[in-house]
């Protein structure tokens, strides 16, 4: 039987990887439909008809279409995580997961995407050198993001809400890996955090899915 849960993903995309990590970690029956951002497959039919935002990831479950990755992570964890650890039901813990997911849009994500996009993807697509002024702006902001992440969100805990990783950690890790794949030097605390998430998810799978942004950056920056 075909699983009802379908993920439209490209491993080059940070939240695409988060969704795959979650589904595999909780063994949610699902199928992956691969799409190439570099080939522009997100901009053309049939995907563009499904998704007016023309972005990956996109998720379908029965008649439900979900076009935002944080919403999809919440939904999938709520429905398929029998142990209930990835999006805990406890109101205060859940609120802390949400708080990171809400914060990251204009912080980790905005500048992780900004750095990678301007250093790797745009120069590749345009065949020109990166606009280093823009790259450096994102680099500086990423430093601020790392500091707030370490001091406010982590504190002295291994993961955002304590000793167990949640969907917030998946979004954080995949985002921090992205600029690092393109040459950004992460702080020691961030690197140690990523190592904890890698172990929690499974090092082999973690590395396998992070090959895509690394390979692309290598090609672009050689």
CA distances from 45 to 34, 52, 88, 178 (A): 14, 11, 37, 27
Q: Is 151 one of the binding residues for a copy of itself (CB under 8 A)? A: yes
Assess 110 for contact with a copy of itself (CB under 8 A): yes
> Rounded to 5 degrees, what angle do the CA atoms 76, 9, 117 make?
120
Residue closer to a copy of itself (CB basis): 105 or 126? 105
Cis peptide before 46 (omega within 30 of 0): yes
Query: Measured between alpha carbons, how far is 222 from 128 in angstroms, rounded to an integer?
Result: 13
Decide if residue 103 touches a copy of itself (CB under 8 A). yes
Residue 66 binding a copy of itself, by CB under 8 A:
yes
Judged by CB under 8 A, does residue 58 bind a copy of itself? no
With binding defined as CB under 8 A, does residue 9 bind a copy of itself?
Answer: no
Between β-strands 5-9 and 30-34, what pairing exists: parallel, antiparallel or unpaired?
Answer: parallel
Assess 106 for contact with a copy of itself (CB under 8 A).
yes
> Does position 43 bind a copy of itself by CB under 8 A?
no
Window contacting a copy of itself (CB under 8 A); options: 16-24, 87-95, 122-130, 176-184: 87-95
- Residues facing 9 on adjacent strands: 34
Alpha helix positions (H), the chain: 14-25, 47-50, 69-80, 91-104, 110-116, 122-126, 132-148, 167-181, 188-201, 203-221
Q: Give how many residues touch a copy of itself by CB under 8 A.
A: 29
Stretch that binds a copy of itself, among 4-12, 41-49, 63-71, 180-188 (CB under 8 A): 63-71
Residues written for the chain: 222
Residue with tokens 């590749």: 124
The reply on whether position 69 binds a copy of itself by CB under 8 A is yes
- Binding flag, residue 52, a copy of itself (CB under 8 A): yes
Q: Which residues contact 140 (CB under 8 A, 6 or more apart)?
A: none
Is the CB of residue 66 less than 8 Å from the CB of residue 59? yes
Q: Is residue 27 involved in binding a copy of itself (CB under 8 A)? A: no
| CB 79, min distance to a copy of itself, A | 6
* 188 touches a copy of itself (CB under 8 A): no
Binding site for a copy of itself (CB under 8 A): 52-53, 64, 66-72, 74-75, 78-79, 91-92, 94-95, 98-99, 101-103, 105-106, 110, 148, 151-152
């Amino acid at each position: 039987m075909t699983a009802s849960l379908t993920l439209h993903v490209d491993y080059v995309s940070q939240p695409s990887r988060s969704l795959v990590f979650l589904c595999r970690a909780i063994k949610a029956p699902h199928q992956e439909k691969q799409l190439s951002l570099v080939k522009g497959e997100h901009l053309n039919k049939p995907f563009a008809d499904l998704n007016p935002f023309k972005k990956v990831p996109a998720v379908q479950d029965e008649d439900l279409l979900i076009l935002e990755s944080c919403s999809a992570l919440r939904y999938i964890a709520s429905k398929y995580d029998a142990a209930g650890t990835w999006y805990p039901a406890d109101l205060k813990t859940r609120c802390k997961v949400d708080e990171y997911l809400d914060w990251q849009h204009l912080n980790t994500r905005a500048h992780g995407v900004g750095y990678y996009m301007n250093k790797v993807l745009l120069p590749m697509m345009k065949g020109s050198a990166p606009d280093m002024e823009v790259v450096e702006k994102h680099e500086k902001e990423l430093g601020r993001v790392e500091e707030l992440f370490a001091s406010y969100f982590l504190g002295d805990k291994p993961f955002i809400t304590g000793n167990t990783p949640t969907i917030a950690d998946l979004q954080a890790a995949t985002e921090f890996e992205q600029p690092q794949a393109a040459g950004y030097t992460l702080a020691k605390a961030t690197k140690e955090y990523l190592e904890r998430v890698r172990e929690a998810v499974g090092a082999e799978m973690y590395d396998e899915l992070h090959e895509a942004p690394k390979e692309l950056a290598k090609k672009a920056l050689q």
